[in-house]
Each structure stands twice: as structure tokens, then as C-alpha cells.
Structure 1
Amino acid sequence: MNGTSMTGRTVLVTGGTGGIGRATALGLARMGARVAIVGRYRDRTEGVAREIRVAGGGEVEAFAADLSSMAEVRRLAGEALERLSRIDVLVNNAGGQWATRHVTVDGLERTFALNHLAPFLLTNLLLNRLRQSAPARVVTVSSNAHLMGRIDFDDLQGERSFDGGRAYSQSKLANVLFTYELARRLRTTSVTANALHPGVVSTAFGGEDPGGVQRWLVPVWRPFMKSPARGAVTSIHLAYAPELEGVTGRFFAAGKPRRSARSSYDEEAAARLWRVSAELTGLSGGSGGADDEAAARGGGQ
């Protein structure tokens, strides 16, 4: 990817209807990219797509999917493969945090399902298209909360003990472990994978089931938080910056590479997390092969 223009490139952004995701999509649209946004509700997603089209110019596609459902992730991947002839950048931005334990339609803990399993599955189902579009990039929005995370392989779903903050930190560490393992698996290709911390951004994040931090501290901190546009700067940078072509397996904050948590460099844990994630999502090939893409096109199982 040369130059600062994204003309001719297609970017798929999950969680693109608000906050950092919407700002990321708008910023890339203004750079000339064909942008595809994913939101949970069709009417709202189509409305935001129209707004970005007007404000940013260019072509903006809308995809609706509840990414906490693995069947919905598979349906989204199938629709994306049908409608997008190329995918130059995948921005895994969607995420959430809940104070109490919620279970998805698949019987999975919602934080782990939405924040980790959804980008894991979606990325794998789109990998062949990313390879075909190479040089291509996978950008995953993590958080500095990963520094406090621990992957509890004995209780990934928080069935024995649940704490919303702990579940969120675990999922954000999983984002980084996934990114590094993906980069290792793609090292012989022209597809890169990087993760990032967007900063502390003023959005509606966590408002659906707020804990004490969201209820009491966020209103106090809000005047000092970044705007969504500022929070999207690093995502946009990783999506287009020419100097990052070929840079992979890194963690960024404020647009610069940073050291992530020591535990995020545990290759054995990353490989184990990959295997467990493949089992939980029913990923047949485990690495975005033809069987997985065919399943996505067919709507999955």
C-alpha cells in the first residue's frame, strides 16, 4: 500500500455504527477507501452507511450481524465474500463489556464470544480473500486492559467465577495472543496482523450493562477522554500507513509500536488458545482454508 490514498482498496470494519469503529470507517472513506461497516441492527447500520457516504464520499456498504452468534459471523463472512471482490484491510473493532455474565445463543459467555471468538472466526473465514487481495492487513482493536488479563483455560466462559472486568481483560489479552499467532501463521504471505490500544475514548462502551466504573467513574473521566475521532487514529494508521507494509505481529498505542504484556508472547498459550477457539467456533480447517471459506459461503453449520 503506497501513499496516503486508499483509493481502490476495500476495508471491512466491524462495530462500524458508532464510537471508534464509525470514526475509523469515516476516516478511511475520506481517504478514498471503499468501506464496508458491520453493525448489529440493519436499519441503524444502513443509516450510518448513508451518513458516512455523505460525509466521506465514495462507496459504503452495510452488513448487519450479531457477532456474538457464531452462525451470524458465518453468515456475515458469506455475504462479505459474495459482495466484496477484494478485502484489503479487515478491522476487527467490535467489542463490549458487561458487568454481569450473559450467555449467547451458542451457550458461550458473551464477552469472550464477541471480543475474541467473533474476530477469530471472521478473520479465518476471510483469510483466503485477504490473501487474494494482498498485500492486505488484519487490524484488531485490543486494549491496555490486556495487561491485567489472564487466559483461564480451566474457566474461559466464567462459569465457576465471573467478574466483568476480569472477563474483559481476558478477552483483550486473547486479542493480542490471536494477533501474534495469526502473524506467525501468515509469515510466508503478504497478509500482516497487528493489534492496538486506541486509548481511553469517550463512547457508549459498556453502557448496556454497566459496572461501577461505567456508572460512577466514567462520567468524571469523560471530559479527559479522547474523542472517537482521536481514538480511531491508530486503527486508521495501521490500516494504511505505507511504512507499515510488511510489519506484522506487533502491538501499537498512540500510533507507535509498544511492548505488550509478557504473557502475550507465550507462544504455547497462543497455540493452545487457537486450538480451543477453533473447537468452540467449529472452524474445520483451523486456518482459513478452502473448507472454511466454503462453509462461510454456504452459511456454515
Structure 2
Amino acid sequence: MQTLAAIREFVYTYPKTVAVVTVTGGGGVLEEINFLWTLTGVGLFGVKKWMAGGVCHSKVQLDGKTVLITGGNTGIGKETAVDLARRDFNCLIFILELYKICCCASGARVILACRDMDRANKAAEDVRKESGNDNVIVKKLDLASLQSVRQLAKDVLANEERLDVLINNAGVMSCPKWLTEDGFEMQFGVNHLGHFLLTNCLLDLLKKSSPSRIVNVSSLAHEKGQIYFDDINLEKDYDPWKSYRQSKLANVLFTRELANRLQGTGVTTYSLHPGVIRTELGRHLWPTMPLWKRVVYKPLVFLIKSPTEGAQTTIYCAVEESLQNESGLYYSYPVIPIFIHHCILNLFINQLSRSGSNLVFNTEFFTDYSDCAPKTAAPQGLDDEAAKKLWDLSASMVGLT
């Protein structure tokens, strides 16, 4: 057992080392506890800032552009909508004595494609207020219904002159064994098939509007996923995390195959992992999470990204000029403390305790992630043969010829 003085010296000497300290009686205990609490607070603040990562610094303006965001009524979808809606080119603010006159040209025309219209209309009003752009509209989209997807595409093609950015953001995570309206496993159906059909239905308009972009919000969970071609709906062995990982890997493979098929059209594609974020996506997690994980998770909420922070990589992929000649790549978020990151991922995504596994750290994870920059996808996310096979299967499932 080290003395508190020795522990203090150790912490000052090795500030990046994690130590667990038990404090018992002795003189000056309160002073030492205050010191440790202060040190802990400063450390947590630093970790929080580190977790938040950088921001998209692109100043690209979107006057005259049209953006469609699925699931834009909450979370990172809503924050992405706010950012893109306020990217106006001519915004002149004159302050003369007691008067302030604003003369603004609108930013992008933003379409929020959502399932719950009441919440979508409320979100659209929020986006208008926060961005100062009234050109924000709502359209109905239920990704669990192929008919709804086709109806939205028909509406967009009939009423929109252009589509510059399609952001496939909506998703569901770790839900029970539910089926879509068309009988597909819910997570694969919503996260992949719905977006696959929507994207294909809007390709002609995207090509007409080129240069244009398709952004698919995936997840680091794809690294442990695989495509179960022989049981795509997981009828034999359903597990919510197995399904989620499959759907997120499908996002990466879809992006890759789409890029190959769109070469020379002026339409580029990107998939990304936004980070671990405080959003409604995890609403199915809490009821199934073991008690010990809930206890561990609570203090970590402070460290998790906010929706604004989590939206940065999506925004980056949507507007960053340097990406114009890149396509099919996978993007991630900035470097964060490895231990904290993997604790959170194991709580939210891996759910290792279900299979009796322990927390495992591999040397491959000790790699710096650049701010809003390309990151190599998992090997199974680079499989062109699997990407083509998934495309053909998906086209058959949604009725595309």
C-alpha cells in the first residue's frame, strides 16, 4: 500500500497512467481527497474534450442545393440538417447603431424524410429556427415499408428539380425479433434494404444533379459483422447484435459496390462511423442491459458524444471539397482514449457478457483515427465479391431488376 504522497508523486510523474486508489485514515486525508477529486475532474474534462473530437471545418456553401436526410427528426440527423440548412452563401449582417439588419440567402433546401410526421414537423420547425432557413420540408418515409420508400421516391422525383446530397441516416439498433411490413428482419430491412431501394430509386436525379453525394451512416460494429447469405433474415438464430452488425456491414459493402457502379457519373459515395453518441438509437438497449452494465454505463454518459459532435463526420462526408474525387471509402471519428472507447462499445454494441466473453483489447485498435478522415474498413467490408453478391440479393429482395 502506497502513501498518498507517493501516489500524488506517481500521478504527477505518469499523468497518462490509470490507477485505482483506496484511501483510508491518516492525517490530511481531506486535503488528499480534494486533490484527487480535482485531478479526476480535470482528467474527465480532458477525456470529454478528446471524446468529442474535432469538427468539420469546411466552409462550403449550399445555396441552391437540395439535401435529403432520412431520420432527420432527431439525433445526428437533426443536427446534420441544421448545419446544412444554414450554409448560405450571401449572409450580410449590418450593425448600425441600435439597428441590426440581416440579409440572407437561404442555404440548402433540406428534406427531412421521417416515419413520425408529428415529430418530424416539430423537428423541421426547430431546424428552421436554428438555421434561419425556412426552406426545410418534411416528407413521409417508413423504411420498414417498401411501398413507403417507393412513394417517397415518387414524390421526390415529381416535385424536386435536383438532389445534391442523399444522407441515409435513419436506423434501428438491437431491437427484438421484429419483421418489416414486407416480412424482412427489421434491422436488415430498415438499416440496409430500405436505404438500398431508396438510393436506387433516386439515382437518376442524383446523376442529373452531379456532382452529388450519397452518405451512408454505418458503424464500427461492422468490424464484427458478417453477411449471412444463407439466412439473411436470421430466422434460425436471431440475436439483436448479430443482426445489427450484419446491417452495418451491409452499409459498408453497399457503399463500396455503389461506388464501383457509379464511376464516371459524378455521384460519389461514402460510409462512416459517427462514434458513440447520446441519441434515441439506443432506446432498445436499456431494458436488455444487465444491471452491472447499467451501473458502469451511468458515469460514462458524460463522456459520450452529443448529437452535434456525432454529426461532424456525416457533415464532413456531405460537404468536404477534398472528397470530391474519392468514393466508396469508409470514414471514422477522431482518436479517443482506447480504454474508454472499448468500454463503451462493449456496453452498447458488443454485449460480450451475453456469450460469456471478457473485455478484449487487440493491438490493431491502438491506431490513431484522424479527424473526419478515411479509415480502413474491416476486411469483410473490403470484399468486392461479397459486395456484389449482397447487391444482387438486395435487388432481388426489394424487387429491382
Residue number among 44, 69, 77 corresponding to 2:153 in the alignment: 77
Q: Hey, what's the Cα distance between the residues in 2 that align with 1:225 and 1:15? A: 21
Check if 1:167 corresponds to 2:167: no
Residue number among 268, 279, 288 corresponding to 1:192 in the alignment: 268
The question of whether the paired residues in 2 share the 8 Å contact of 1:109 and 1:157 is answered with: yes
Q: Hey, what's the Cα distance between the residues in 1 that align with 2:384 and 2:302? A: 39
Check if 1:28 corresponds to 2:84: yes
Return 102-111 or 219-228, whichever deviates more. 219-228
Q: Hey, what's the Cα distance between the residues in 2 that align with 1:54 and 1:190? A: 33
Report the counterpart of residue 269 of structure 1 in structure 2: 386
Please, what is the CA RMSD of the aligned residues?
Answer: 1.6
Report the counterpart of residue 249 of structure 1 in structure 2: 328
Shift of 1:57: 2.0
**Alignment map for 1:226-241 (pairs within 5 Å):** 226-241=305-320
**Alignment map for 1:217-232 (pairs within 5 Å):** 218-232=297-311
The question of whether the paired residues in 1 share the 8 Å contact of 2:192 and 2:247 is answered with: yes
Name the CA shift for 1:222/1:193 in 2 (closer, same or farther; >3 Å): same
| Aligned-partner residue type, residue 130 of structure 1 | L
The question of whether the paired residues in 1 share the 8 Å contact of 2:185 and 2:234 is answered with: yes
Cα deviation, 1:161-186, whole Å, max 9, x if unaligned, reads: 01111100110000000000000000
Name the CA shift for 1:57/1:180 in 2 (closer, same or farther; >3 Å): same
Report the counterpart of residue 139 of structure 1 in structure 2: 215
- SS of the counterpart of 1:207? helix
Q: Hey, what's the Cα distance between the residues in 2 that align with 1:263 and 1:45? A: 36
Q: Hey, what's the Cα distance between the residues in 1 that align with 2:290 and 2:109? A: 37
**Percent identity for Structure 1 against Structure 2:** 43
Report the counterpart of residue 56 of structure 1 in structure 2: 131
Check if 1:152 corresponds to 2:208: no
TM normalised by structure 1 equals: 0.90
Cα deviation, 1:224-245, whole Å, max 9, x if unaligned, reads: 1100001000111111111111
Report the counterpart of residue 8 of structure 1 in structure 2: 64
Q: Hey, what's the Cα distance between the residues in 1 that align with 2:297 and 2:78? A: 21
Q: Hey, what's the Cα distance between the residues in 1 that align with 2:270 and 2:290? A: 28
The question of whether the paired residues in 2 share the 8 Å contact of 1:3 and 1:242 is answered with: no
Q: Hey, what's the Cα distance between the residues in 1 that align with 2:70 and 2:175? A: 22
Check if 1:43 corresponds to 2:140: no
Q: Hey, what's the Cα distance between the residues in 2 that align with 1:279 and 1:209? A: 32
Name the CA shift for 1:207/1:3 in 2 (closer, same or farther; >3 Å): closer
- SS of the counterpart of 2:227? coil
Shift of 1:223: 1.2
Name the CA shift for 1:87/1:196 in 2 (closer, same or farther; >3 Å): same
- SS of the counterpart of 2:281? coil
Name the CA shift for 1:6/1:213 in 2 (closer, same or farther; >3 Å): farther
Q: Hey, what's the Cα distance between the residues in 2 that align with 1:179 and 1:117? A: 13
Q: Hey, what's the Cα distance between the residues in 1 that align with 2:195 and 2:311? A: 18
Q: Hey, what's the Cα distance between the residues in 2 that align with 1:219 and 1:99? A: 21
- SS of the counterpart of 1:66? coil
Shift of 1:43: 1.8
Return 95-104 or 10-19, whichever deviates more. 95-104
Cα deviation, 1:102-147, whole Å, max 9, x if unaligned, reads: 0111111000000000111100000000000000000000000000
Q: Hey, what's the Cα distance between the residues in 2 that align with 1:218 and 1:62? A: 35
Report the counterpart of residue 289 of structure 1 in structure 2: none
Report the counterpart of residue 299 of structure 1 in structure 2: none
Shift of 1:18: 0.2
The question of whether the paired residues in 2 share the 8 Å contact of 1:141 and 1:198 is answered with: yes
| Aligned-partner residue type, residue 124 of structure 2 | A
Structure 2, unpaired ranges of 5+: 1-57, 88-106, 334-371
Name the CA shift for 1:95/1:147 in 2 (closer, same or farther; >3 Å): same
| Aligned-partner residue type, residue 231 of structure 1 | G
Check if 1:67 corresponds to 2:67: no
Shift of 1:83: 2.4
The question of whether the paired residues in 2 share the 8 Å contact of 1:99 and 1:163 is answered with: no
User: How many matched pairs?
Assistant: 283
The question of whether the paired residues in 2 share the 8 Å contact of 1:100 and 1:209 is answered with: no
Structure 1, unpaired ranges of 5+: 285-301
Residue number among 238, 252, 256 corresponding to 1:180 in the alignment: 256
The question of whether the paired residues in 2 share the 8 Å contact of 1:97 and 1:111 is answered with: yes
Q: Hey, what's the Cα distance between the residues in 1 that align with 2:229 and 2:387? A: 11
| Aligned-partner residue type, residue 309 of structure 2 | R
Higher relative contact order (CA 8 A, sep 6+): 1
